[in-house]
């Protein structure tokens, strides 16, 4: 099959390959991406490269995770500076960040 014969555009699939690899997209979107990758050799080749790169990074970084205390401090800092809106749907999760206005102090 050529790249023009898919219901999903190749550039769209490749832009979302990390979401697919991290299993961060909804079930329907994941199935659509999976189908496209199985039918499209150029995308499948690119996906294979991306998958290998991710595996290499995981191996080289030791698979270490940030300590919970660090995660908590980061979350608190983000909440102070921005409003974070997380929405879950069948297509996946979206995150919107709205920066809070920070008032400066005048010295004098």
Total residues belonging to the chain: 108
DSSP per position, 92-108 = EEEEEEEEPP-------
Q: pTM of the entire structure?
A: 0.45
Is 104 a member of any domain? no
Q: Are the beta carbons of 18 and 58 closer than 8 angstroms?
A: no
Is 76 a member of any domain? yes
Total tally of structural domains belonging to the chain? 1
Is 108 a member of any domain? no
Quickly count: other Cβ atoms within 10 Å of residue 59's Cβ: 9
Q: Are the beta carbons of 2 and 39 closer than 8 angstroms?
A: no
Quickly count: other Cβ atoms within 10 Å of residue 101's Cβ: 5
Residue 63's domain comprises: 3-99
List per-residue pLDDT tens for the chain, 108 residues long.
345 667 778 888 888 887 887 888 889 988 988 888 888 888 878 777 777 777 877 777 776 777 888 878 877 777 777 776 777 888 887 777 676 665 555 554
Is 107 a member of any domain? no
Is 106 a member of any domain? no
């Amino acid at each position: 099959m050529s790249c023009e014969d898919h219901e999903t555009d190749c550039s769209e699939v490749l832009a979302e390959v990390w979401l697919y690899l991290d299993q961060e997209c909804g079930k329907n979107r994941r199935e659509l991406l999976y189908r496209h990758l199985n039918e499209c050799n150029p995308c499948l080749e690119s996906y294979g490269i991306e998958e290998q790169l991710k595996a290499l990074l995981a191996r080289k970084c030791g698979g270490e995770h940030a300590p919970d205390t660090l995660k908590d401090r980061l979350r608190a800092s983000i909440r102070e500076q921005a409003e974070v809106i997380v929405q879950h749907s069948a297509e996946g999760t979206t995150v919107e960040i709205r920066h809070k206005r920070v008032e400066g102090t005048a010295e004098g």
